[in-house]
Structure formats: structure tokens, C-alpha cells
Amino acid sequence: MAKREKPRALWPTEAAVSDVVGRLMEFWGFKRNMGRVWTVLYLSPQPLSAEDLRHALQLSSGAVSMTLSELSRWGVVRRVWIQGERKDFYTAEVQLWRMISRVFNEREKSEVTSAIEAFEDALRKLEAIGRTSPDPATRARAQLQGERIEQLLELARLGRRLLDALVSTGKVDVEPLARFLLGQQRS
């Protein structure tokens, strides 16, 4: 078994890459430190402890602990046991597609599904307004909004199908999206 290195400062390349990934993660709605911690683990040739990460990234113990918990929950880091060590060590998921598809499946798909449900609910309410309102202007407004929400619903359903295909096969046929968008331009 290889002997563990003592905690060390990050190389400039590690610091730069972890900062870039941290910014990307923040752009996608995650915490910046999630990207930074994952990257340091990803680039490390051996598992690291929370203390190693705290030292390398100059973070508080609490920040490292919370970040490792979140990353573990997303399945992008895992705890590993090292013989003769009492503390926990962590490694990063190195299969990038596995990590990305998990996020797509759990987060983006959930948002699209919520949008679909909201659009369907709005359509039911607009349909009721259109059936029951004595005012022709109100009925016309409900009809127009219904037609436009129907387009949004169709796009959301298409998005869900594309996400399902992307997660299950790693490939996406964008032809249905192109047809949808081109069809919208003609309307």
C-alpha cells in the first residue's frame, strides 16, 4: 500500500482549475465550493480527508463538512476507508457522464416536470374560464392564453423527452426540437 502524502498546498494549476469549476458550478445553481472541493478530489491521485481539503482550499471545517455532505448526497464524492487511518477520506466520481446525467435526471428533469404540471393546471383553469365567463373579451383572452400555454407545454414535454433520451443513452436527437422551433416561427 502506498504511503499517504502529508497535506500540501495546491499547485497553481489545481487552484486555477478548481476556481473555474467552482464558478461553473455556481453558474449552474450550485455552491461554488462544491465545484472547488470536487475538483481538488478529482485531480488528487489519492483520497483526501476533510482536513486535507480544508488546508488546500483555505476553508473552514464547517464549510468543508457541509460541502462534502452535499457532494455525497449528489453522489459525486464518496467516503473511502484507508487502512490504519481513523478519519474519513473522500474520492471524487471520475465518470463525468455518470455525474452529469445524475444531475440532469434529479434536478433538471424535476424542474421540467414541475413546469409541465403548472402548465396543465393553468390550462384547466383557463378552460373553465372560457366555458363559464359570460364576457366575450374574457373568453377570447382565455383562449389566446390557452393557445400560448399549450405551446409552452408542448416545449416542456419535448424537453422532458430530450432529457430522458440524454440520460438514458447519452445522445439526443435534436430534430424534434428544431421542428418545434421552426414550426413556432411560422405561426
Lowest mean pLDDT among 7-11, 14-18, 27-31, 62-66: 7-11
According to DSSP H, which parts of 28-108 are helical?
A: 32-43, 50-57, 61-73, 96-103
Confidence of residue 2 (pLDDT cuts 50, 70, 90): low
- 93 or 173, which is more confident: 93
Q: What is the pLDDT of residue 187?
A: 53
Q: Mean pLDDT across the stretch 174-185?
A: 80
At 33-48, the pLDDT tens digits run 999 999 999 999 999 9
In the chain, where are the structural domains located?
A: 12-94, 97-186
Q: Which CATH number is 12-94 given?
A: 1.10.10.10
- Whole-model pTM: value is 0.76
Mean pLDDT of the chain: 91
Q: Residue 5 pLDDT more than 70?
A: no
Confidence of residue 6 (pLDDT cuts 50, 70, 90): low
The fraction of the chain above a pLDDT of 90, given in percent, is 74
DSSP state of 6: P
Q: Work out the number of other CB atoms within 10 angstroms of the CB of residue 48.
A: 23
129: helix, strand or coil: helix
By the 10 Å C-beta count (0-12 exposed, 13-18 middle, 19+ buried), 144 is classed as: exposed
Q: Evaluate whether 105 touches 111 at the Cβ level (below 8 Å).
A: no
Q: What is the pLDDT of residue 8?
A: 77
At 56-99, the pLDDT tens digits run 999 999 999 999 999 999 999 999 999 999 999 999 999 998 88
- 81 or 7, which is more confident: 81
At 115-134, the pLDDT tens digits run 999 999 999 999 999 999 99
